[in-house]
Structure 1
Amino acid sequence: MSLLPSATAKQVFDLVRDDLAAVEREFSRQAESEVVVIQDIAEYLLAGGGKRIRPLLLLLAAKALGFQGESRIRMGAVVEMLHTATLVHDDIIDEAKTRRGKASTNTVWGESKCVLAGDWLYMQSFQTALEERNFHVLDLLIGLTQQMVEGELLQIQKLGHLINEEEYFDLIFRKTAMLFKVSMQLGAALSGASDEVEQQLGEYGRNLGLAFQIVDDVLDITGEESTIGKPAASDLREGKATLAVIHALERGTGAEREAIRTVLADRNFSRVKHATILEILKHHGSLEYAMDAARAYAEAARQSIVDLPAANSEAAKALRALQWVPGYVTDRDR
């Protein structure tokens, strides 16, 4: 069993600072287009910040396996481009007005241009990935894209309706955790790792992605707009039932269940206030239930790589960093 101590935030940042900067430069380079609006939208989103956790995972996975080739930078840009494309499309579908504290791209440029810009980013990410000349890499990306699109379509079908936990976890795997999983798998694929190691890293990504989305959903309900960068309780306003809400629906009184159903159906808080829903969730311990689930998945992520050997000192640093990331995911406030 590995006895590597966990890294600190500073150690993790220092470990990948230059690589992440290179990923951002590569993203900007790949987003260059003769059609100015495409480049403007890509640069607007890139300048909006973001956690860059998906390229971070790919970089750490590659480093943990001793791979330092330029492909890791190119593929780091690919997963961030894919993620950015999903943000553009999600904001259109959700009719979002803000993203990370700024006006959303569809608010600035309009839906028609943003749909096409999102499509272009998807295609450009695959064009960039083609440079690897690696069928396995393309297979991972195609499977990922299919899962994400299916997840979005399933979620649209379920908006305003009650879902159970099994359906919730299926949705968040497709929409979020799959990209975390594939980011880790790509790091393994670039390094030429065995199927067993790739599966191990993929399991880490899957569990981490589930934890990440559960925390996101809790923050959506409890956070302040100034902190989370979008209106509070956006999920409920969009008719989405998340884990804490599902938990409360299963345990609430008839009146409490009706209040939650009303908000999901209305997709606003005109008849039932946000504070009322928040009180129901707190009363039944639903928010803590969701956070306990997130912490369990975060710990499962840690355990999935605990026996992964370190080939050298740099690989050991990357493994320590990967042990740190789950704690960051569950302890964050945005």
Structure 2
Amino acid sequence: MTIQTVNWNITEDEFDEYVWDKATAQFWLDTRVPVSNDLKDWRTLSQTEKDVINKVVGGLALLDTLQSEEGVNVMREDSLTRKEVAVINNFLMMESIHAKSYGTILTSLNENSVINDVYEWMNNDPRMQYKVQRINEIYQNEDNLKKKVASVYLEGILYYNNFFTPLWYRGQNKLANLSEIIKLVIRDESVHGTYLGYKFQLSFAKLAADEQADFKIWMYDLLDDLLENEFAFTEEIYAPIGLVEDVKQFVRYNANKSLQNMGFPSRYDNASIEDINPIVMNGISTETANHDFFSQVGAGYLMGNVEAMDEEDYAF
């Protein structure tokens, strides 16, 4: 068999090159964000608040481990172009960086005994395990279109439950470096979700009308199943700090965004960006908090002079 090189001078799909440029310009590393500088804020939090933050960060580590080890890999099987494979390879590396970043957060703010407890919790919590087992079951056993839906739901909905708390504290000018990592992850995930949603639409359009109807039944049943577990998880995690309803609204908003990425209408009423807790939206739009060029690197540190994050970036 003759191996043929990828010819980047040939355009098969302009969106491949656009997303490649966007994704590579956003490259970052957790080691450039000094989370330990947040220790002053961390020490002012109650033990309950610390427990919630550790659990949501630990949960993200588990979800991103699944995505980096299984989820992104299976996306390559249905690639429509050679450059799409390159884009997905970039996504894979960034998911690994995300997973490592959550470990950096936990290590920077906690003693080893606490970190071990968080890992024990995330590996055994029934709600967390339900999420990863349900999604991985699709990755391992279903067709490529269903795999894309599972990936969009994971990155576009399930992650965002756990993103809420760091953004909420950032909106109050606390935990700046922890939240900068979260905002960098969000910027990546907005690209990933939009790209996979676009690729989904290309393949979904080729299905016959009856096949599309059957697929949508499966897709919405999966969404209902995941959100039932997600809302139960929200009640367990966020009740101690009184944010259950705010988080549920955030999840519904991101569920609508994920459906829109795949070409479907919003499903949840009263879940627009105006309905999100304004403190969280302030956390999303807050610009980088650089103190100097050497010890502090926030969202302004992005190769290629990418501008600080705002609401438009969040919606990609």
> Do the two structures share a fold, i.e. TM-score over 0.5?
no
TM-score when normalising by structure 2: 0.34
